[in-house]
Chain A
Amino acid sequence: MGDMVVEPATLKPTSDPTASPSGNNGGTLLSVITEGVGELSVIDPEVAQKACQEVLEKVKLLHGGVAISSKGTPLELVNGDGVDSEIRCLDDPPAQIREEEDEMGATVAPGTAKGARRRRQNNSAKQSWLLRLFESKLFDISMAISYLYNSKEPGVQAYIGNRLFCFRNEDVDFYLPQLLNMYIHMDEDVGDAIKPYIVHRCRQSINFSLQCALLLGAYSSDMHISTQRHSRGTKLRKLILSDELKPAHRKRELPSLSPAPDTGLSPSKRTHQRSKSDATASISLSSNLKRTASNPKVENEDEELSSSTESIDNSFSSPVRLAPEREFIKSLMAIGKRLATLPTKEQKTQRLISELSLLNHKLPARVWLPTAGFDHHVVRVPHTQAVVLNSKDKAPYLIYVEVLECENFDTTSVPARIPENRIRSTRSVENLPECGITHEQRAGSFSTVPNYDNDDEAWSVDDIGELQVELPEVHTNSCDNISQFSVDSITSQESKEPVFIAAGDIRRRLSEQLAHTPTAFKRDPEDPSAVALKEPWQEKVRRIREGSPYGHLPNWRLLSVIVKCGDDLRQELLAFQVLKQLQSIWEQERVPLWIKPYKILVISADSGMIEPVVNAVSIHQVKKQSQLSLLDYFLQEHGSYTTEAFLSAQRNFVQSCAGYCLVCYLLQVKDRHNGNILLDAEGHIIHIDFGFILSSSPRNLGFETSAFKLTTEFVDVMGGLNGDMFNYYKMLMLQGLIAARKHMDKVVQIVEIMQQGSQLPCFHGSSTIRNLKERFHMSMTEEQLQLLVEQMVDGSMRSITTKLYDGFQYLTNGIM
């Protein structure tokens, strides 16, 4: 391999301080990195590059400068093209890689297996294989994570740490729990490799900072308390929370440091605007309700105040920019804790509504819902819509949150508060008799009594007119006019012919109008969430929008979130990741399996938030409310057997069923009662609650031994055991399993890394990963797999335990 010889000259310029664009600063920055305390300084691509160089240099020295390979592309010092191009030029893997390679071969791609054999004969060839892999387009984030985890070689780890900068943010975000868990629980080298990237991203995004801080806290919690305090994870968490990673100073320092065009380098374009709005945030959340007069000017006071301080923004900017958000989260958790003390659902619901209405007074503020996929500010919590969810002793609850979408969370200022009472005075102050004048009149003579009709003024007729326009009821002028036209047209005249109406028409209109309303669930004080969840999402959005003072704004959005307090969501997060991975595998392999991973926000080891699945109610609720079998419910909701709607709902049901059966089998999801399986408006089922997965199962009663839950009711919806759809279902499972098997590593990796340092019940025992791998049956032929699927389906169908378990749940929790 001719291109293996390194020309020291290519490296030299980069390590030479004067040649580097950020030369003067290089030394200090480097030391910062190596110490692993990047708190005080800015991490930017240049620094990252520097760090990279440093590592390579070190490796080169260790190995006498011989082994470093370069693919022949000399290092280019591009500054203008932004992060990616800069870092990409650094992909010279260190020589040490050759030792790693033998271990790694198996876990990489099938293609490299061959290479591994060959490498034994030729050391240099081996090395180039790995190198080529790293440089190839196939090298994706999943592989990067895998190498980072498995490699024992600091050089490789450092290299990958730098390569992280090249991946798309969204791709890396997916592996954030893995990255942070490695950071916390693995050796120092891995940590050092990961840290620059984390710090860099924290500077870019406040949301990323929050997620990191939360995850670091949650995943450190399994450590012993004494080690935890001094652990790397805790330190990094403190660093993030102390807010030293905010990019405020950047703008000021950069010009003096490097006059180079830095538009591309800057993590994001920030202006003083940001700090300005930060200041607003601190004000708006803490001193929000200081407004006293009904003067609209007061409402804008915050805004004015902060804009006047723009010039001194850095000194004034909020000390901790994450503070409002953390406060918000804390409030929600506090509500959950207090709800748990109340005995009945009804009390909980009422209490929840009251608490939220209080919380509403503090909004809008610089807070957001981390589960959302776009930048926004929370402006209002429609408190009357919130519901307490079914749970025996804890009080998870679901809230809807009105937000205003914005381009950039940091730079957009917090929306001004609009008072709840939108019945605005149509009379403005100007229209009122000028008080000042009357004062003088009064003072002049007491006798003047301008006979002023106050009462009529207070409720003058034109007010009413305007108010009627404001009434939100769309129906007022739509539906039928017959029962109303009398008022409009004939009221005035009595001399006209009397108008006759048929009693039958009135009765008919009544039943017709009621028939149009979609089937809603009845209110049940014991199950307050059923009604709220049954209402179609679009309908709910429309309704809440109508009632909201912010509803008229074009960027108004409705989000919802389940707040869980007292539950460990780390397993849920793990399940989410696995589901997401399987989903993308199936998509990639074009297997039409349907699953719905829902987002999880781990807040701490015993609290978090869940993104609710919209338009879905639990099968338990369906059965309880409708008093129908699942099939009959399908017929009622979607139409008779032959209709398009029913058939597509049935297809959705089958595809989701197959998807979740595989998930349940692979992850060993337990506790599958009807309260934990949702049915959405299109017929999909969605499994929720992954509290018992992998090695853990509830109460060890030996229930649920079947591979997954498949009741006869489910089979009925699929059209019975001999139907085409049931065969389709089995075929989908087979295809799904084959596809999953092909990408087993991607799935196992997620679980394996999280096992590191974890006390979660799902990792109980020593064989969790081995068992997981075994369930992919790598050694089976496809025919054998087909047989396996048949067996599993058969087993689950006949499984008495599933039925038993449902009965058990009914007895203990009242779940049908």
Chain B
Amino acid sequence: MAQVEKRGGLLRKSSASKKPLKEKVVLMYDEIFMTEDPSKCSPRFWEELFLMKVNLEYLEGKLESLDGEELMQMKDNVNCLFQHCIQALGEEHPIRVVNALQTLCALIRGVHQKNKSTSGFDIINMLMGFDKAELCMKNLMESLDSLLCAEGSESLKSLCLKLLLCLVTVTDNISQNTILEYVMINSIFEAILQILSHPPSRREHGYDAVVLLALLVNYRKYESVNPYIVKLSIVDDEATLNGMGLVITQALSEYNRQYKDKEEEHQSGFFSALTNMVGSMFIADAPEKISVQTNEAILLALYEAVHLNRNFITVLAQSHPEMGLVTTPVRPTPPTPVTPLGTTPPSSDVISSVELSLDADVQTSNLLIAFLKYSSIVMQDTKDEHRLHSGKLCLIILTCIAEPMRHRKKAADKNIPCRPLVCAVLDLMVEFIVTHMMKEFPMDLYVRCVQVVHKLLCYQKKCRVRLHYTWRELWSALINLLKFLMSNETVLLAKHNIFALALMIVNLFNMFITYGDTFLPTPSSYDELYYEIIRMHQSFDNLYSMVLRLSTNAGQWKEAAGKVTHALVNIRAIINHFNPKIESYAAVNHISQLSEEQVLEVVRANYDTLTLKLQDGLDQYERYSEQHKEAAFFKELVRSISTNVRRNLAFHTLSQEALLKEFSTIS
């Protein structure tokens, strides 16, 4: 902005006197901010206005300086300006369109600035006037829609999206932005989808489009029928969904890349070899925290896509050679855009039009991988509030992904070259469990994490998926977590119900014990489970005595602890069954310390005399429900995203100079 004005000033100086003259456009603005109709004396006033370069700073500043009362006095003129802006959007000459779009932005932002507390209706009245608002907004939305869908200039489209983002984020609480009602009625959903499904436009505007969609979906999502929610939930066009996935992947990968770069800066060579996401977890111990601004907006978009659209799950695991475009942006190609998936001229080679980068690191990526990497980075450090939220959102998304019905595709993809992505998810969960046992215990995240594991197990049990996964790591992580809960009983009990978490952990073991035959990879892995339980029997014994103590007291935790007592029945049975056998084996063979192989031998020999109790509902879980549990979280999240987007909205990045150049060739 400053630049713009400075430039304007310079021009003046060279041409005219020393006394700073006002730009013509500023004079015209001043005329608008009178009570009189500016077109009275000059009938071509409005026509001329949109030929002038917009002085955003002045316009916005002027509006901000006025309070509601003052604004109401010149309401007619403001309304008139608004209307003429919309009219200008239909003009043939792109300069007028650009100016109109920028003026609208300034108007909307300016009017809101001083009137934060004013009700949405009053703002609508100020901007458009009640009587004309509906028609006005209808025209605006239609114009934007056609601009976005037309084969027009990319910078124009970009400006349209910026205007929409500006409109959507103008209030802190998106649901209080009453103007959005009109955006609900006059949907631009199809335009957004079209942007996402066309590779050239997706490359240019994909990010804005996805963020806009994510925000729109969150408008009064719990109170009313938001058509964007409805529409998003039924999208099944592959190109569109892939496009959306691609945009999200690119944004997440970009974050991951930045993080990696920073990390490499920080540790010259020491951890440089750590490329896999599990490895990157350990960096939490590194002396200095490496923080890159997290990107909640894109995460929210991912969440909404996964949560609302069940077709989107197929996009998650789809590998995209086009990912290569992340590192080699092909921005300046508007004249003959190559369309990898779209309309290739029949004569040209189908595939060669997509020149893929040969970077091995990039090309193998898919959305889920990018997301897991991102999650692992975010979860490293959950100390500050912001990252805690980001991590929570990651876990919520994982929870949604882990709901069994959504696994169908992943199961079918079992034969992907390396190991299934589920293993990566499990790895991530194990790492999280191991690395977050701290005083500021993130109970909520732990519960989610264990839930994710539980859901994955339920799915595997149901569909008989035998993952070749080293479950032992999970078991020992869970046992360690139990130990941590017990040793910090007093501290933790003051804040959290640790028995709920303990119950979940114990029930995970019960899943393995009772249903292990349906999803364990080998018979020996079942033996190992028993070995692990027997080896760590002290922990279970301690847990049992703790919950027994609390459940017999008539305290606050009686019921919760009681449940854990019940859940421990099989684990205790195993311990009580095998321990004497092992002791006698040791006695008979005169061995003081049995080796693992020997213990396993005892275990194998004594299965048949062990009876277990069948527990109910081990493979049942509460389905994820946003509205009942997470509404407050999302409200807050959307608020912060809105603020962020608003702050980052850079109109001036789209300098008029560039636009002028572009349009001078067109007209």
> Which residues of A does B touch, CB under 8 Å?
282, 285-287, 289-294, 323, 327-328, 330-331, 334-335, 338, 341-342, 346-347, 349-351, 353-355, 357-359, 361-362, 384-385, 419-421, 423-425, 427, 429, 432-433, 435, 438-439, 442-443, 446, 449-456, 458-459, 464, 467-468, 470-473, 475-476, 479-480, 483-484, 486-487, 490-491, 494, 498-504, 506-507, 509-511, 513-514, 525, 528, 532, 546-547
Contact = CB atoms under 8 A, between A and B. Distances in A.
B239 interface: yes
Contacts of B221: 454
22 contacts: A286-B344, A286-B346, A292-B190, A330-B349, A341-B358, A346-B417, A350-B363, A358-B322, A385-B415, A438-B225, A454-B222, A455-B626, A464-B405, A476-B464, A483-B515, A483-B517, A486-B616, A491-B617, A502-B610, A503-B607, A506-B612, A507-B517
Nearest to A528: B417
A473 B464 contact: yes
Interface in B216-247: 220-227, 229-231, 233-241
A125 B610 CA distance: 99
Nearest to A512: B517
A273 B573 CA distance: 73
B239 A384 contact: no
Interface string B347-372: 00111101010101001100000000
The 5 closest A-B pairs by CB, nearest first: A504-B607, A504-B608, A354-B321, A455-B627, A510-B517
Contact of B239 (A292, A323, A476, A487): A292
B237 A292 contact: yes
B185 A443 contact: yes
B185 A442 contact: yes
Contacts of B620: 487, 491
A432 B321 contact: no
B418 interface: yes
Nearest to A328: B350
Contact of B341 (A289, A424, A452): A289
Which of A290, A423, A442 gathers the greatest number of chain B CB atoms within 10 Å? A423
A338 B409 contact: no
A547 B410 CA distance: 11
B264 interface: no
B612 A501 contact: yes
B417 A499 contact: no
Contact of B462 (A282, A291, A476): A476
A361 B341 contact: yes
Nearest to B415: A384
A361 B354 contact: no
| Residue among A282, A347, A385 with the highest chain B CB neighbour number at 10 A | A347
A355 B517 contact: no
B351 A506 contact: no
A660 B345 CA distance: 48
A507 B345 CA distance: 61
A446 B181 contact: yes
Given A456-B625, A467-B405, 11 more contacts: A287-B343, A291-B237, A327-B346, A334-B352, A347-B360, A361-B239, A484-B518, A490-B614, A494-B616, A507-B604, A510-B520
A291 B236 contact: no
Contacts of B617: 487, 491
Candidate in B413, B518, B623 with the most chain A CB atoms within 10 angstroms: B518
B417 A349 contact: yes
B628 interface: yes
B340 interface: yes
B307 interface: yes
Given A346-B418, A487-B620, A455 B625 contact: yes
B237 A293 contact: yes
A355 B351 contact: yes
A498 B614 contact: yes
A334 B181 contact: no
A283 B137 CA distance: 38
A475 B193 contact: no
Contacts of A342: 358, 360
B321 A355 contact: yes
Interface residues of B, number: 105
Interface in B444-474: 462-464, 466
B514 A501 contact: yes
Given A433-B230, A483-B517, A503-B610, A547 B318 contact: no
Contact of B346 (A285, A473, A501): A285
B193 A293 contact: yes
B69 to A, nearest CB: 24
Interface of B: 121, 134, 178, 181, 184-185, 187, 190, 193-194, 197-198, 220-227, 229-231, 233-241, 307-308, 310-311, 313-314, 318-322, 340-346, 349-352, 354, 356, 358, 360, 363-364, 405, 408-409, 412-413, 415-418, 462-464, 466, 513-518, 520, 522-523, 526-527, 574, 604, 607-617, 619-620, 623-628
A500 B613 contact: yes
A9 B466 CA distance: 84
Given A292-B197, A358-B321, A528-B417, A475 B235 contact: no
A468 to B, nearest CB: 7
Contact of A510 (B223, B418, B516): B516
A346 B363 CA distance: 12
B342 A362 contact: no
Given A286-B343, A349-B417, A511 B523 contact: yes
B517 A331 contact: no
Nearest to B360: A347
A292 B342 CA distance: 11
A435 B227 contact: yes
Contacts of A438: 224-225, 227
Contacts of B226: 454
A429 B526 contact: no
A425 B464 contact: no
A446 to B, nearest CB: 6
A384 B516 CA distance: 29
Contact of A353 (B311, B351, B417): B417
A509 B198 CA distance: 52
Nearest to B616: A491
A506 B360 contact: no
Contacts of A419: 236-238, 311
A294 B341 contact: no
Nearest to A432: B230
Contacts of B235: 294
Contacts of A425: 233-234, 236, 310-311
A528 to B, nearest CB: 7
Contacts of B241: 421
B362 to A, nearest CB: 11
B416 A293 contact: no
Contacts of A420: 238, 314
A359 to B, nearest CB: 7
A345 to B, nearest CB: 9
Contact of B310 (A323, A423, A490, A513): A423
Contacts of B322: 358
Contacts of B523: 507, 510-511, 514
Given A354-B364, A467-B405, A500-B614, A361 B238 contact: yes
Contacts of A479: 464
Contact of B240 (A294, A330, A532): A294
B352 to A, nearest CB: 6
A423 B610 CA distance: 43
A286 B344 CA distance: 6
A421 B314 contact: yes
B350 to A, nearest CB: 5
Contacts of B413: 384
A279 to B, nearest CB: 12
Contacts of B134: 443
Contacts of A290: 342-343
Contacts of A511: 523
A453 B230 CA distance: 12
Nearest to A295: B237
B416 A507 contact: no
